[in-house]
């Protein structure tokens, strides 16, 4: 393993209920993940991030936590988690959990026993809006005769991060898992923890605000995105760095304004280690847009910081559908982009197969979100038969599956695996700088370090890109080994890594 693994590493997001089922109850579980570590090692990923595994009434499928230091019985036991961490460690794979510090489940004992840990008001104090089911972010609790804040569903009360006891509780939770060998955390809604102390109204949005900040027509500068949140991550980074090896903090910093997003890295070594780059998630798979996001990211980040690129997740959907409308050649281009930019990359389970969104008929929808996010959360197709017995979400299309793609060296699975392997064999690809190269309209090209160039044609016309060397890896596998003299010709939906010399 290259140290520290996360800097140019490949993360792999596992949605535990949908990855692999060890006991045939139709729900993926921790033992299922352990049983598939051989696959993940073969694929070559550095780390696995598990969506929340804690006891939860599952109003928001684990993002409503009822106990931060236990495992949901559907998914297994603490012992299963320990075995997963140990077995992954033997295979050189780090395990990250998902921390949900903004809110708990309304069924967390704290809500009744320690109400002071939450945000309360006697009357609805402001215009803040709930993300799920719409309406005010304040709900009356008849028992307490006061209103509690919930930025998400009313079953997800927000914690009060001005209360030092909340901070102390979360430091205990971090230590609990770090002491068990967990390598780090993905931090849910990392930009939202601290709320305006005076609970002031959010302000009216303008057309210049990024679409996420201006959700519901308001610019969320008081209900979230508060500068005081940075102090929390300063403290956590000190804690994470006090472990050996240092533990890693990956933020779900859902901020599309790139300079504001970059601030969550602090000086580059004193806040989050990584933050998902949602500006790229929200860009189209289009050269001009993506090039712009990457240039802005490189300009905004402190010199020692590493971006974290992703194209799919359990909220936004699958890149093969979102970006590529199911087209496999385009999905390879997207994977090529994610895995050859400077920084860490995060694949969502199934991305490596060019898996498209699942079909979930209305009567099977279980998500609280609107539109429902279930199509991004359907079971992993392990074989043409699926590999599942009556799964919790339907698995209809198994045409792209692990067994078939693993047996076919020309598959997207092999393409992804070879790309990940190339990051290890070419230090420039894993750790070198990023510099944009000139490219015709529709195409995008960049150099990594001194000796590696990448070019991709995301447009609809053939192009020629001025790079030289030898094709080390290409979306059209037949081109590998080709010598490039004057320029690299690329058909639409084609891309390649070219090494000099």
Give residues in contact with ligand NOJ (CB under 6 A): 60, 63, 100, 152, 188-189, 252, 314-315
Task: Report in angstroms how near the CB of residue 212 gets to ligand NOJ at its nearest.
Answer: 12
Do residues 3 and 424 touch, judged by C-beta distance below 8 A?
no
Known active-site residue 408: no
Relative orientation angle of helices 229-241 and 164-179, to the nearest 10 degrees: 30
Cα(227)–Cα(206) distance, integer angstroms: 21
Give residue number: closest CB to ligand NOJ. 63
Closest CA to 347 of 75, 3, 46, 7: 46
CA distances to 37, 91, 176 from 34, rounded to whole Å, are 5, 11, 21
Question: What is the strand order of the sheet 248-251 is part of?
Answer: 274-275, 248-251, 184-187, 94-99, 47-50, 10-14, 344-348, 308-310
Residue 21 interacts with which of ligand NOJ, Ca ion, none, CB < 5 to 8 Å by class = Ca ion
Residue 376 or 493: the one with the smaller Cβ distance to ligand NOJ is: 376
Q: Which of 60, 155, 158, 188 is catalytic?
A: 188
Using Cβ positions, the residue closest to Ca ion within the complex turns out to be: 29
Per DSSP bridges, beta strands 248-251 and 184-187 are parallel
Given Ca ion, ligand NOJ, none, residue 60, with its beta carbon under 5 to 8 Å by kind, binds ligand NOJ
Q: Nearest distance from residue 27's CB to Ca ion, in Å?
A: 4
Q: Choose, from 31, 64, 74, 252, the residue flagged as catalytic.
A: 252
Q: Nearer to Ca ion by C-beta: 44 or 52?
A: 52
Q: Report in angstroms how near the CB of residue 368 gets to ligand NOJ at its nearest.
A: 8
Which spans of this chain sit near Ca ion (rule: CB under 5 A)?
21, 23, 25, 27, 29
Judged by CB, which is closer to ligand NOJ: 188, or 405?
A: 188
Q: How far is the CB of 189 from ligand NOJ (least distance, A)?
A: 5
Distance in Å, CB of 83 to ligand NOJ, minimum: 26
* C-beta of 8 vs 62, nearer to Ca ion: 62
| Residue 270 annotated as catalytic | no
Comparison of 12 and 63: residue with beta carbon closer to ligand NOJ:
63
- Phi, psi (deg, nearest 5) at residue 117: -80, -5
Q: What is the dihedral of CA 229, 308, 248, 77, to 10 degrees?
A: 100
Q: Is residue 35 a contact partner of residue 22, using CB atoms and an 8 Å limit? A: yes
Catalytic residue numbers, as ranges: 188, 252
């Amino acid at each position: 393993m290259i140290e520290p693994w996360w800097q140019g590493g490949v993360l792999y997001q596992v949605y535990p209920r949908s990855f692999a089922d060890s006991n045939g109850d139709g729900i993926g579980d921790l033992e299922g993940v352990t049983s598939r570590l051989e696959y993940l090692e073969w694929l070559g990923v550095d780390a696995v991030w598990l969506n929340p595994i804690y006891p939860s009434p599952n109003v928001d499928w684990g993002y409503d936590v009822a106990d931060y230091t236990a495992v949901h019985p559907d998914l297994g036991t603490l012992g299963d988690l320990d075995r997963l961490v140990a077995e992954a460690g033997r295979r050189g794979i780090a395990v990250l959990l998902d921390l949900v510090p903004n809110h708990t489940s309304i069924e967390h004992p704290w809500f009744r026993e320690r109400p002071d840990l939450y945000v309360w008001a006697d009357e609805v104090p402001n215009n803040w809006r709930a993300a799920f089911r719409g309406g005010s972010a304040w709900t009356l609790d008849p028992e307490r005769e006061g209103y509690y804040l919930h930025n998400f569903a009313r079953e997800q009360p927000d914690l009060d991060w001005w209360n030092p006891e909340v901070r102390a509780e979360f430091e205990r939770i971090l230590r609990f898992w770090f002491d068990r060998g967990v390598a780090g955390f993905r931090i849910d809604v990392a930009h939202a923890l601290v709320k305006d102390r005076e609970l002031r109204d959010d302000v009216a949005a303008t057309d210049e605000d990024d679409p996420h900040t201006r959700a519901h027509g308001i610019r969320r500068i008081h209900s979230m995105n508060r500068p005081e949140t940075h102090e929390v991550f300063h403290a956590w980074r000190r804690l994470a760095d006090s472990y050996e090896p240092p533990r890693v903090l990956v933020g779900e910093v859902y901020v599309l304004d790139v300079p504001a997003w970059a601030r969550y890295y602090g000086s580059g070594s004193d806040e989050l280690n990584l933050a998902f780059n949602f500006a790229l998630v929200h860009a189209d798979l289009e050269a001009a847009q993506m090039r712009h996001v990457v240039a802005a990211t490189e300009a905004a980040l402190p010199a020692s910081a590493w971006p974290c690129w992703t194209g799919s997740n359990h909220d936004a959907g699958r890149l093969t559908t979102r970006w590529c409308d199911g087209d496999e050649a385009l999905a390879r281009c997207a994977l090529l982009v994610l895995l050859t930019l400077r920084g860490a990359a995060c694949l969502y389970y199934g991305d490596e197969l060019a898996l498209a969104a699942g079909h979930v008929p209305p009567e099977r929808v279980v998500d609280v979100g609107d539109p429902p996010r279930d199509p991004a959360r359907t079971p992993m197709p392990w074989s043409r038969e699926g590999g599942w017995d009556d799964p919790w979400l339907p698995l209809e299309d198994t045409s792209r599956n692990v067994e078939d793609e693993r047996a076919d060296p020309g598959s997207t699975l092999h393409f992804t695996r070879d790309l990940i392997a190339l990051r290890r064999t070419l230090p420039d690809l894993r750790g070198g700088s990023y510099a944009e190269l000139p490219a015709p309209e529709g195409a995008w090209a960049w150099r990594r370090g001194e000796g590696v160039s990448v070019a991709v044609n995301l447009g609809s016309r053939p192009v020629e890109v001025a790079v030289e060397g030898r094709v080390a890896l290409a979306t059209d596998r037949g081109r590998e080994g080709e010598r490039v003299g004057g320029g690299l010709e690329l058909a639409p939906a084609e891309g390649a890594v070219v090494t000099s010399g």
